[in-house]
């Protein structure tokens, strides 16, 4: 089952890719829809992770959730500026999303420091690291146009960096969903154990 935020992002991306060739004007509007989808995807992914990782710690959870919402709003506003539509801004766009994505390391580090000896925390942190590596790999391939540089003219239809990026995002969203299911079931087991002990 795909998460709702991933579905929103993929729908926004599909709309952009289906209709961007209609005209430059339509492309300029729809690329912003695509950016909003990406921002919603990152923000929503963080929110689920933070909610379950810091379940039961209301004050910390609220601070992180508000911070990620504010970050998502800021990134959403930045990506709507016309400057980000330019091809030359590919690196800036990627940089903003990378910085936004890496902001997850702050609560992850705090979670690790708080309960680093817990096997559950180690699994949670390792799955966050795996997901981050997958996303960063996709972002690197997209930003550097790796396949186009390695095989110029041979990957124009199939195998270019944008397609690979989308495949990697789907893989990362599946890994992320498995991580969230693990965290949620771990928290349920912890809650059940506490009830049983009482």
Q: What is the pLDDT of residues 12-37, one digit of tens each?
A: 999 999 998 889 899 989 999 999 99
pLDDT at 2 over 60: no
**Range 177-191 burial, b when 16+ CB lie within 10 A, else e:** bebbeebeebbeeee
In this prediction, residue 151 has a pLDDT band, given cuts at 50, 70 and 90, of very high
The single residue listed with the structure tokens 């994505």 is 101
Q: Give pLDDT, residue 26.
A: 92
Length of the chain: 198
Cα 188 to Cα 178: distance, rounded to the nearest angstrom? 15
Instruction: Count CB-CB contacts under 10 A for residue 89.
Output: 16
83 annotated to a ligand binding site: no
| pLDDT 10s digits, 95-118 | 888 888 888 778 877 777 776 666
Instruction: Please name the residue ranges forming H helices in the chain.
Output: 4-19, 24-53, 58-78, 90-102, 105-114, 119-144, 146-150, 161-197
What percentage of the chain reaches a pLDDT higher than 70? 89
Q: What is the pLDDT of residue 117?
A: 62
Is 176 annotated to bind a ligand? Reply is no
CB 78 within 8 A of CB 88: no
166 is in an annotated binding site: yes
pLDDT band at 58 (very low <50, low <70, confident <90, very high): confident
Q: What is the pLDDT of residue 1?
A: 40
Which of 47-51, 61-65, 160-164, 194-198 shows the lowest per-residue confidence on average (mean pLDDT)? 194-198
Q: What is the pLDDT of residues 154-189, one digit of tens each?
A: 988 888 888 898 899 889 888 888 888 877 777 665
The closest of 98, 115, 135 to 54, measured between CA atoms, is: 115
Does pTM surpass 0.85?
Answer: no
Please report how many Cα atoms fall inside a 13 Å half-sphere around the Cα of residue 24, on the Cβ side. 3
């Amino acid at each position: 089952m795909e998460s709702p935020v991933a579905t929103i992002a993929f729908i926004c991306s599909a709309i952009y890719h289906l209709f961007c060739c209609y005209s430059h004007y339509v492309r300029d509007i729809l690329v912003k829809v695509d950016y909003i989808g990406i921002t919603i995807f990152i923000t929503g992914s963080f929110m689920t992770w933070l909610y379950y990782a810091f379940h039961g710690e209301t004050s910390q959870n609220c601070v992180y959730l508000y911070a990620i919402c504010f970050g998502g709003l800021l990134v959403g506003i930045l990506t709507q500026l016309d400057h980000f539509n330019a091809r030359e801004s590919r690196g800036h766009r990627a940089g903003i999303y990378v910085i936004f994505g890496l902001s997850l390391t702050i609560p992850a580090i705090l979670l690790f420091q708080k309960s680093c000896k817990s096997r559950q925390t180690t699994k949670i942190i390792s799955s966050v690291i795996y997901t981050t590596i997958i996303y960063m790999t996709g972002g690197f391939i997209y930003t550097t146009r790796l396949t186009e540089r390695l095989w110029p003219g041979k990957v124009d239809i199939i195998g270019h960096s944008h397609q690979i990026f989308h495949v990697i995002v789907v893989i990362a969203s599946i890994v992320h969903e498995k991580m969230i299911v693990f965290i949620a079931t771990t928290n349920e087991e912890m809650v059940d154990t506490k009830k049983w002990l009482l």
